[in-house]
Amino acid sequence: SEVTNITNRLDSFLGSVNIIISGGGKGRSWKWKDMLRFPHISQCMELAKTLERDYYSLCVKQPIGRQLFRLFCQSKPELRHCNSLLDKMGEYEVKSDEEKRSFGMQIINRFLSRQVPLSDLYPNVLHLALTLPSPICEGLCVLGIHLRLLCFYSDLHEYLSGAPFLQYQQSMYFDRFLQWKMVERQPVTKHIFRQYRLLGKGGFGEVWAFQARASGKMYACKKLEKTHVKKGKGEAMALNEKQILETLNSRFVVSLAYAYETKQSLCLVLTIMNGGDLRFHIYNMGTSGLEQDRVQFYAAEVCCGLHHLHQMNIVYRDLKPENILLDDNGHIRISDLGLAVTLSEGNLVRGRVGTLGYMAPEVIGNDYYGLSPDWWGLGCLVYEMTAGRSPFKRKGERLIGKEMERRIQEEEEEYGKIFSNETKDFCRLLLTKDPRDRLGCQGSGVYGIQSHPFFRTINFRRLEAGVIEPPFKPDPRAVYCQDVQDIDEFSTVKGVILERADNDFYIKFNTGSVAIPWQTEMIEMGCFKELNVFGPQGSRPPDLDW
């Protein structure tokens, strides 16, 4: 046991060393260029025929597509200023409220002066502004500038999606895009990753630290053992989790970068979250509970993550501290989307799912519900982060399920001295038994939550842009989880035979790279920059296959 102990520690040490190295673009396989070799352009013709020519997807959403489209614009004197304006708009987005007005005016003056003046487009706003007392007038001016810029931003994209987009598709930059897409769509097998330490254990298998050999980027690989999935009839659940994850794109929810299969398992390759889960931070760091600024910060990030899911009509249904993971910098992401479900247009669902102690009254009562259980969950989370215990259970108390359910449906939760007035009010409003009266479930939706005084120190726009410094940064040398040897080994199930019919499901699961995270990996790790070279003076190289 002494030996395994040392080996495990060494393993996790090497894992962390590697994480440090990979940040500098090292840790790549010496064969990385071969792994990412562009096919000859003639091999991209099938793709060129079938690819949907959607400007927004090809030139805005996909990171490599966006970069190549920008390089194309840069090569045309008449389009260059579009790039600078897009840059400025990006800067404007993350400016603090105080800087926004003057920066916004600068953009307007620089790019729009020869166009319609502000006052012509928004005469009502400006007229109103001039007649109001100055703080409101100031607010409306900022709003006016903001609207003007938004409008111009969408006009700009509308313009670019016309003739420039057509020209782009005839250029060498688009050929290069097709080549990158072909590399992206290469089949994914276990050989494209290195495996490091064990991170945790789930219902169907283990989660390991992985590294993409081509780029050096670290990931977490959640393995679902095929025999376990089959025995536990988890096929639909696994596929649901995978399909929901691949449609998401939020800095507050783990991203799925690859889905593939091996002989034994189905693998989900996810954003790695090395800072431990919130449960560990609430209970195992000396004192139970967290300081108010951390509670507000985590609650705000969770709120943005839930909002992203809700905008896509997804209810998460499993909010609890264990499922909120920290990254190296101290930002959180929602993880474990096994219970999430997509609501079909205007419909509600039913289903008593979730974790005992965190289920909303309407879930326990087996009623039809929409997005409301998640806002109840946020109330439970804020309560638990603050008090160091969940709202319906005393510390160390053991409860049977029925009693817990009764308390959730009938009892008022109690608030100790540790709760500030705003936190108490916020939790009360979220822990309203009737979902129709609950904060977040009314007309104003998430904005009702974000504008509550509990969040008065949070600037949600800057939070969404990722420019807010977290109040706590995990120590890179610490391991914020139970010791690896305490995690039981994952046993294989005997007597389960995998058949032909199971293959239909494996095929649906095994879709390989997911476009946006894969392209982000290429850019972030420097592979894009190093490989995306063109011939002299920006000419089309004689042979794009090099």
- Does residue 222 interact with ligand ADP by CB under 6 A? yes
How far is 324 from 319, CA to CA, in rounded Å?
8
Strand 206-212 vs strand 324-326: parallel, antiparallel, or unpaired? Answer: unpaired
- Does residue 23 interact with ligand ADP by CB under 6 A? no
Per-residue binder mask for ligand ADP (CB under 6 A), 288-327, x = binder: -------------------------------------x--
| Nearer residue to ligand ADP within complex by CB, 218 or 371 | 218
| Nearer residue to ligand ADP within complex by CB, 225 or 405 | 225
How far is 70 from 173, CA to CA, in rounded Å?
9
| Nearer residue to Mg ion within complex by CB, 312 or 353 | 353
Q: DSSP states of 508-539 as a string? A: HH--EE-HHHHHHHHHHTTHHHHH---SGGGP
Binds ligand ADP by CB under 6 A, chosen from 202, 232, 471, 512: 202
- Does residue 273 interact with ligand ADP by CB under 6 A? yes
Tokens at residue 391, please? 């709202």
How far is 143 from 123, CA to CA, in rounded Å?
13
27 backbone dihedrals φ, ψ, rounded to 5°:
75, 5
Residue with tokens 């998640």: 374
Q: How far is the CB of 337 from ligand ADP (least distance, A)?
A: 8
- Does residue 276 interact with Mg ion by CB under 5 A? no
| Nearer residue to Mg ion within complex by CB, 100 or 281 | 281
| Nearer residue to ligand ADP within complex by CB, 336 or 362 | 336
- 305: nearest Cα among 250, 343, 377, 342: 250
Nearest 5°: the CA angle 444, 379, 255 is: 80
What, of Mg ion, ligand ADP, none, does residue 71 touch, CB below 5 to 8 Å by kind? none
Q: What are 334's strand-pairing partners?
A: 253, 324
Binds ligand ADP by CB under 6 A, chosen from 23, 25, 39, 200: 200
Q: How far is the CB of 458 from ligand ADP (least distance, A)?
A: 25
CA atoms within 13 A of residue 125's CA, in its CB half-sphere: 16
Q: How far is the CB of 354 from ligand ADP (least distance, A)?
A: 13
Task: Check the annotation: does 222 bind a ligand.
Answer: yes
Catalytic positions: 318
Binds ligand ADP by CB under 6 A, chosen from 225, 336, 362, 405: 336
Contact 206, 200 (CB under 8 A): yes
Contact 47, 181 (CB under 8 A): yes
Residue with tokens 């013709």: 45
H-helix or E-strand spanning residue 162: none
How far is 128 from 65, CA to CA, in rounded Å?
43
- Does residue 144 interact with Mg ion by CB under 5 A? no
Residue type, 67: Q
What, of Mg ion, ligand ADP, none, does residue 254 touch, CB below 5 to 8 Å by kind? ligand ADP
Q: Considering only 3-11, 197-205, 369-377, 536-544, which stretch makes contact with ligand ADP by CB under 6 A?
A: 197-205
Tokens at residue 502, please? 């199971």
Contact 228, 493 (CB under 8 A): yes
Using Cβ positions, the residue closest to ligand ADP within the complex turns out to be 202
- Does residue 474 interact with Mg ion by CB under 5 A? no
What, of ligand ADP, Mg ion, none, does residue 271 touch, CB below 5 to 8 Å by kind? ligand ADP
Q: How far is the CB of 366 from ligand ADP (least distance, A)?
A: 23
How far is 297 from 275, CA to CA, in rounded Å?
15
How far is 114 from 111, CA to CA, in rounded Å?
8
How many residues in the shown chain lie near Mg ion by CB under 5 A? 2
Q: How far is the CB of 12 from ligand ADP (least distance, A)?
A: 13
Q: How far is the CB of 378 from ligand ADP (least distance, A)?
A: 19
What, of ligand ADP, Mg ion, none, does residue 222 touch, CB below 5 to 8 Å by kind? ligand ADP
**Residues in the chain, total:** 546
Per-residue binder mask for Mg ion (CB under 5 A), 279-318, x = binder: ----------------------------------------
H-helix or E-strand spanning residue 265: strand 265-271
Q: What is the DSSP letter of 317?
A: -
Helix axes 97-112, 80-94, angle to 10 degrees: 170
Q: How far is the CB of 452 from ligand ADP (least distance, A)?
A: 29
Q: How far is the CB of 253 from ligand ADP (least distance, A)?
A: 11
Q: Is 70 exposed, middle or buried (0-12, 13-18, 19+ CB in 10 A)?
A: middle
Q: Which of residues 231-260 bind ligand ADP (CB under 6 A)?
A: 254
How many residues in the shown chain lie near ligand ADP by CB under 6 A? 18
| Nearer residue to ligand ADP within complex by CB, 180 or 208 | 208
Tokens at residue 462, please? 């800057």
147 backbone dihedrals φ, ψ, rounded to 5°:
-60, -40
- Does residue 207 interact with ligand ADP by CB under 6 A? yes
Residue with tokens 């916004």: 104
Q: How far is the CB of 174 from ligand ADP (least distance, A)?
A: 34
- Does residue 22 interact with ligand ADP by CB under 6 A? no
What, of ligand ADP, Mg ion, none, does residue 179 touch, CB below 5 to 8 Å by kind? none
- 93: nearest Cα among 457, 466, 470, 461: 461
Q: Which of residues 327-346 bind Mg ion (CB under 5 A)?
A: 336, 338
- Does residue 377 interact with Mg ion by CB under 5 A? no
Contact 80, 73 (CB under 8 A): yes
The site for Mg ion (CB under 5 A) is made up of 336, 338
- The annotation places the binding site at 222
- The annotation places the binding site for ATP at 222
The site for ligand ADP (CB under 6 A) is made up of 199-204, 207, 220, 222, 254, 270-273, 325, 335-336, 338
